[in-house]
Structure 1
Amino acid sequence: MLDSLGGKPDTIVALATPQGVGAIAVIRLSGPDAIPLANQVFHGRNLTKQNSHTIHFGTIRDGNRIIDEVLVSIFKSPKSFTKEDAVEISTHGSSYIVNSVIKLLIRKGARPAKPGEFTLRAFLNGQFDLAQAEAVADLIHSDSEASHQAALHQMRGGFSSEIKVLREQLIHFASMIELELDFTEEDVEFASRPDLRILVERLLRVIEQLIGSFDLGNVIKNGVPTVIAGKPNAGKSTLLNALLNEEKAIVSDIAGTTRDFIEDEINIGGVIFRFIDTAGLRETTDTIEAIGVSRTQEKMKTASLILYMFDLGDTDMVEINRDINKLENLGVPFLKVANKVDKAKTQFISELKDMFPDTIFISAGNRENLEGLKSRILELVNLDKFKTGNTVVTNIRHYDALVNTRQSLLDVLEGLDNEVTNDFLAMDIRRSLHFLGEITGEITTDDLLANIFSKFCIGK
């Protein structure tokens, strides 16, 4: 972060908007020389004499050559994203203009920003903690209402607040036990063991809830893997095309047309579902089709939801019962989807409703009752916990730290049960504090920060 002489921090520059031609582009500067440096190339008002949070019209010039007419926004420390002096230059979206302005600023003394360096500076300057910084990237990449809400909740400190409360409670007991270590010869007890047990058990309940929320958080962030399964010609590809409103999958009366799986994303009720159209489930002597059937079975095992689809005109009750028993043994939530309702016999539909009242009846070809199917799909993905505003863990790094915290706290309980000495008890508590601190950034390493922020875009 410092310049080559080890002095004040560098002033960094990068394009903050996406690469490519557009109506406008925003070039971002941050650092102690951001305002005077921008002022060297800006012709209009003297930027060094302007107030924070003001916008100024003028031109960017390289000597006497005008590069572009621009708007320059000024943000003075500490009232900026990075808590440093910052400038944002809005130019026309020509890649030539953008590159010319950035090259000019670099010649004047700025250096190109590294991936995520603006957000890294915001974290290092105390704008927010590490979990909130990671939420910035999640917010940028959110592509559904649910993932947007989860990232926004985390960025505004919802998750961090819960972790900090847990950590502060544990720090108090840790300090008391550490104090006891200084008075071992006097047999003084500053930390009540029963109270410590109560605290640890309460922390474990909260941490278990956070760990348990990860499955939900993972599908909110990455989408719900949903397999459409059934025998050939059940209408799986037709359903996928109907949901996508495009001819993504090949539809044919010839059994075994889908040899491999076809995958695409669909937004239903603010949640991204990754629908996977698979090869039909049946016994086959065709080598390539058999490979597709095998892959289908593997996909079903790793899915979060299975749509078991069958043709009402080409499936009997015995076959449906057999398939349902196999799906129940997989342990994956599934929905029974009866297709081609427009061609089915009324008596068979009645029997199915009596035997399996939760069956959804559709006609994929006629796009009949697809909205009803979508509603049932949303019901099976339990978002109640998320919608009530509870904290949901969406980051695998946070999940891993919580799992390690849980084990350390269980070690504390085991130590209390075995009446271990204070030094061993203190060690387990310190380990718990370490893992909780990794989440919010109280405990960090250069490698950890480099790994996290390298995944950000350069202008962020």
Structure 2
Amino acid sequence: MTGMDRDAPIVAVATASGRGAVGIVRVSGRGLLPLARALCGRELVPRMASYGPFRDGRGEALDQGLALYFPGPHSYTGEDVLELQGHGGPVVMQLLLARCLEAAAEVDATTGRARLPGLRLAEPGEFTQRAFLNDKIDLAQAEAIADLIDASTEAAARSATRSLGGAFSREIDALREQIVQLRMLVEATLDFPEEEIDFLEKANARGRLDRLQATLDGVLGQARQGALLREGLQVVLAGQPNAGKSSLLNALAGAELAIVTPIAGTTRDKVSETLQIEGVPLHIIDTAGLRADHEASDEVERIGMARSWQAIAQADAVLFLHDLTRVHEPAYAQADADIAARLPSPGQGATVLHIFNKADVGMDVDADALAQPQPPGEVLTLSARTGEGLQALRQTLLRQAGWQAAQEGVFIARQRHVQALNAAREHLSLAQAHAAQRDGALDLLAEELRLAHNALGRITGAFSADDLLGEIFTRFCIGK
């Protein structure tokens, strides 16, 4: 996208592909009125819907619908915007799109020039990119538009709406303003050393830095919650065949998603489902049963187990299921131990929760089993069949993910936002260390404040490279 002419007018179908009641073709550029007259056969009043036919090159109606004209800069992109809202059939939309391109190249009888020279198809996200480049929205708000479209839970949608409204950006701007004030004081002291102003004492730099760090920590906490709402948690169900992984998936989902039989090894490949707990998306993967490669019954089972280990390597949390009815069998216990040895160690990857399943039929051995030396990590007992212990599992997953319930005003965020806030926090910590030195070290303090300021600027786009913009906007849908 970065290689495209950013000044050229653009056009695209702005609604999802497929059939629908309404479809929209959107045009953005400068000087759209001649094109609007050619398409609609009438003058359009700014910001007022006008119903009538959309005409082809012979003046015949292609469709009937609403036309809206928004003169720049009071539009979504900051440029002139024309929207044609017709019937949502894919053929109709493509006819309107082709007519826009055709009419733009035609010579206007009034001016003797092409109506809209250079009109081309929009790239993914290009309308929103123009809104950003024309200062209609900042980068965090632009990302919130895509996050609102992609939201998989109500909580994520509401949080994305708050970010789109500027809640996150205002927090970042307030932090940047505080840093700017500190930078001004530091730079003034560096520029006029003959004044012999004791900057650290009279300007209360340490107190300001402490308050700034505390405020940033609060924003960082909210951003982490927002990133969790957006990204969700990758949870993998692992364990030996017939430990109850598929039953647990079905119990958590409240539906028969995976085939469950008494036959070990029924699940031969990954089965995925996205659920939500308190608005947090959980992407749960039920994997093929794990055992030694030489015990696999065929090549299909070996491939299924390989994919299970791949899923475990990419997980945020692994639920390692143990069958309470078999924990006393030496061969079964050894196989569990072999699997546990290959799972991520604490702090080295995914969180591992040990789940002792089938509590409803294993009550006689339940107490004895749990009296044995327990594996490292959290241990829960449940019954996927009766639902006993499921709520405790749900809450444990949220706690392990770092989710704080009943938080108000959470805004949607991305991992890049969290990384930028962490970088700003590290620079502020170094600035605090320099401020605490009795010899001043104001030049180093000034540099750390500058770096913290720049890190925050990357969130809203105050400091953004073209390759970052390309990475962000090309992930949007075409027409947005």
Q: Per the shorter chain, which TM-score range? A: 0.7 to 0.9
Deviation at 1:335, TM superposition (A): 6.0
Q: CA deviation at 1:348?
A: 4.1
The separation in 2 between residues aligned to 1:143 and 1:204, in whole angstroms, is 33
**Partner Cα separation in structure 1 for residue 59 and residue 232 of structure 2:** 53
In 1, the alpha carbon distance for the partners of 2:366 and 2:447 equals 65
Name the CA distance, whole Å, in 1 between partners of 2:469 and 2:362: 63
The 5-angstrom pairing of residues 36-51 of structure 1 reads 36-43=34-41, 45-47=42-44, 50-51=45-46
- Change in CA separation of 1:453 and 1:310 when aligned onto 2, cut-off 3 Å: same
The alpha-carbon distance between structure 1 residues 293 and 111, as it changes in their structure 2 partners (threshold 3 A), is closer
Task: Tell me which residue corresponds to 1:399.
Answer: 418
What is the CA-CA distance between 1:90 and the residue it aligns to? 1.0
Measured in 2, the distance between the counterparts of 1:346 and 1:34 equals 75
For structure 1, which segment, 283-292 or 193-202, has the greater mean C-alpha deviation from structure 2 after superposition?
Answer: 283-292
Instruction: Tell me the equivalent position of 1:91.
Output: 86
Matching residue of 2:160: 151
CA apart distance, 1:351: 6.5
1:61 aligns with 2:78: no
Change (3 A) 1:72 1:392: closer
Q: Does 1:221 align with 2:239?
A: no
Amino acid at match of 2:232: G
User: CA distance change for structure 1 residues 391 and 272 in 2, over 3 Å: closer, same or farther?
Assistant: closer
TM-score (norm 2): 0.79
Which residue of 368, 388, 398 maps to 1:381?
Answer: 398
Segments of 5+ residues of structure 2 without an aligned counterpart are 105-115, 373-377
The residue aligned with 1:15 is 13
Number of aligned residue pairs? 445
**Structure 2 vs 1, CA of residues 60 and 205 (structure 1 numbering), >3 Å: closer, same or farther?**
same
1:129-176 deviation digits (Å, cap 9, x = unpaired): 211111111111112223223322221222212111111111011112
The share of aligned pairs that are identical, in percent, is 35
CA distance in 2, matches of 1:153, 1:206: 19
1:446 aligns with 2:466: yes
Among 101, 114, 136, the residue aligned to 2:145: 136
Displacement after TM superposition at 1:396 (Å):
2.2
Counterpart residue number, 1:162: 171
**CA distance in structure 1 between the aligned counterparts of 2:197 and 2:391, rounded to whole angstroms:** 64
* d(CA) in 1 for partners of 2:211, 2:313: 35
- Measured in 2, the distance between the counterparts of 1:457 and 1:213 equals 27
Instruction: Give 1:234's aligned residue.
Output: 243
Deviation at 1:9, TM superposition (A): 4.6
**In 1, distance between residues paired with 2:88 and 2:450?**
52
Deviation of 1:234 (Å): 1.5
**Structure 1 counterpart of 2:155, which letter?**
A
Query: How far, CA to CA, are the matches of 2:430 and 2:363 in structure 1?
Result: 62
Q: Distance in 1 between matches of 2:403 and 2:276?
A: 18
Q: Which moved more, 1:137-146 or 1:260-269?
A: 260-269
Structure-2 residue corresponding to 1:285: 294
Residue identity matched to 1:134 = E
Match of 1:30 in 2: 28
Cα distance between partner residues in 2 of 1:295 and 1:447: 33
- Structure 1 gap ranges (5+): none
Matched-pair contact (CA < 8 Å) for 1:150–1:392: yes
Question: CA 1:184/1:215 → structure 2, altered by over 3 Å: closer, same or farther?
Answer: closer
Cα RMSD between the aligned structures?
A: 3.8
Specify whether residues 304 and 445 from structure 1 end up closer, same or farther in structure 2 by C-alpha distance, changes over 3 A only. closer
Q: 1:57 to 1:454 in 2, by over 3 A?
A: same
Deviations 1:404-448 (A, max 9, x none): 212322232232244354333322211111111111122233333
Distance 2:124 2:202 in 1: 47
Equivalents in 2 of 1:145, 1:369: separation in Å?
25
The change in CA–CA distance for 1:424 and 1:17 in structure 2 (over 3 A counts) is same
1:102 Cα deviation after fit: 1.7
Which residue of structure 2 aligns with residue 272 of structure 1?
A: 281
Q: Give the aligned residue type for 2:357.
A: A
